[in-house]
Amino acid sequence: MEIPEWVPDAVFYQVFPDRFASSAKVLKPSNLEPWDSPPTHRGFKGGDLIGVAERLDYLSDLGINALYLNPIFQSAANHRYHTHDYYQVDPILGGNSALRRLLDHAHERGMRVILDGVFNHASRGFFQFHHILENGPASPYLDWFVVERWPLHPYDEHKPANYRAWWSNRELPAFDTRTPDVREFLFEVAAHWLEFGADGWRLDVPEEIDDPAFWREFRRRVRRTKPDAYLVGEIWSGPAAQPWLMGDQFDAVMNYPLYLAWSGFLGGQDLDTSFRPGGFELRRLTAEEFAHRIDEIMALHAWEVNLAQLNLLGSHDTPRFSTVMGGGEKGSERLKLAGLAQMTFPGVPCIYYGDEIGLEGREEPACRGAFSWDSDRWNADLRASIRRFVRLRRSRPALRRGSFARVLAQDGVYAFERALGEDRLLVVLNREPRSQTVTLPANCGDGRQCAWRDVWTGDIEAGLKGTPRTVQVGPVGGRVLERVTN
């Protein structure tokens, strides 16, 4: 399995373009929702890609070195999963020139940018589908979609659509990827934007194209165009992802199984189990159950794949993590602990925009609220913590490429070690609302006695003569300790 060399070193930030930042340099239509008003299913806030480019200093300060953009192509939906034209960036986002500017400015800072590829369905406004609507059975594009009977009803909810659509949503006619012209069109779109400067693709619901040959050819075209492009699939189930991660299709998937495990353990009694992210049940996990679940997740894939998995604490398709954790101060403290786990686990962390400042929200569309650029409204302590965790990850090779071994799992505490050569770190996570005393290993595994030093204070915490073999971990808190050999 060949993973692009840059991927394990990445810390991603997911941007929902309509809601992150708006620039006065992009001409906008007038009927936009107020930026700070609650988000709606159909309304537009007017965020754009120049706005993203103008905020790269903010992202660099946070430690971000990679961006994942939700769909940016011309569309009549604020989320832009209803693609009209795959070769045009939406004019409300600033058009193709805005993407050019964002890519150039990001690359100048050493940031990678991956795009969201919606290749299983288009929209009612997509040219080839519109051609069928205008010309009926005479359209030369008839085999681009699956027409079941005539006439077609793309807008009348009281009549059957009469064509195949994604999850029977008539707004989203499904491509017939058995048609060679359709396959070639999608392959050329993927190659075009990589040639333009994008660094990879996140593939939307790829299981809807149930054709391994399609995705193998997709990977070949992508790699031929940009050998180090990153390919990430949106597949929610761990076992279901296995066939996609054998080296001939994707590099990684969005690691929702890990997200569910983190939620179940780190949420403790604050976890709101009424939520069903992605339709999955949220269940509270003991430390022992969590450890078993982590072992299962890690065993699903080759180690190289584990280092490339996109590890997230939420996305545009889930309630905000802090909201799932009960919201308010409790939710922020749980998110802070989860942020430490995210930045120290194997895999590629991805921060959902606004999580770091305390943005909350329930299911869609509430989880897609606008980012506030009034810093007085930020949770400054949460942001400072996330920033510190990101910078720790980027400074320590063991956290990006090192081995992973469980050390302890009991009484609401989970501890693990990351090691790469002499860079060895012990991470202790306490999800309980009380301080706990944790006994550390005396032997470092190579026959030598060792001590443990706090990575931020530099204080020897345990192991040297005259110091205890234990450390204190605060309520809903974590510690990161580095090994010091005697």
Residue 133 tokens read as: 């609507």
**Dist CA 196 CA 193 (whole Å):** 5
Sign of CA dihedral 246, 304, 340, 409: positive
**Dist CA 394 CA 65 (whole Å):** 10
User: Could you give the strand order of the β-sheet that contains 310-312, starting from the edge strand earlier in sequence?
Assistant: 252-253, 230-233, 200-203, 112-117, 66-69, 12-15, 348-352, 310-312
Residues 397 and 482: beta-carbon distance below 8 Å: no
Residues 333 and 476: beta-carbon distance below 8 Å: yes
Sign of CA dihedral 361, 367, 368, 373: positive
Out of 234, 251, 360, 482, pick the active-site residue: 234
CA separation (Å) from 292 to 91, 265, 409?
Answer: 48, 11, 9
204 carries an active-site annotation: yes
**Dist CA 464 CA 469 (whole Å):** 8
Task: Return the beta strands (E) in 118-270 as ranges.
Answer: 200-203, 230-233, 252-253
**Dist CA 461 CA 445 (whole Å):** 19
Beta 200-203 vs 230-233: how paired, if at all? parallel
Q: Which residue, chain included where needed, has tokens 């005697």? A: 486
Residue 408 tokens read as: 């302890």
Question: What burial class does residue 2 get, using C-beta atoms within 10 Å of its C-beta: 0-12 exposed, 13-18 middle, 19+ buried?
Answer: exposed
**Dist CA 242 CA 301 (whole Å):** 7
Out of 48, 171, 199, 204, pick the active-site residue: 204
Give helix 256-266 / helix 328-344 axis angle, nearest 10°.
130
Count, residues in the chain: 486
Q: Which residue, chain included where needed, has tokens 């761990």? A: 238
Helices (H), 300-352: 303-308, 321-324, 328-344
CB atoms inside a 10 Å sphere around CB 60: 14
Sign of CA dihedral 179, 181, 183, 185: negative
**Dist CA 263 CA 214 (whole Å):** 34
> In one letter, which amino acid is 41?
H
199 carries an active-site annotation: no
DSSP 8-state symbol, 423: E
Active site residues: 204, 234
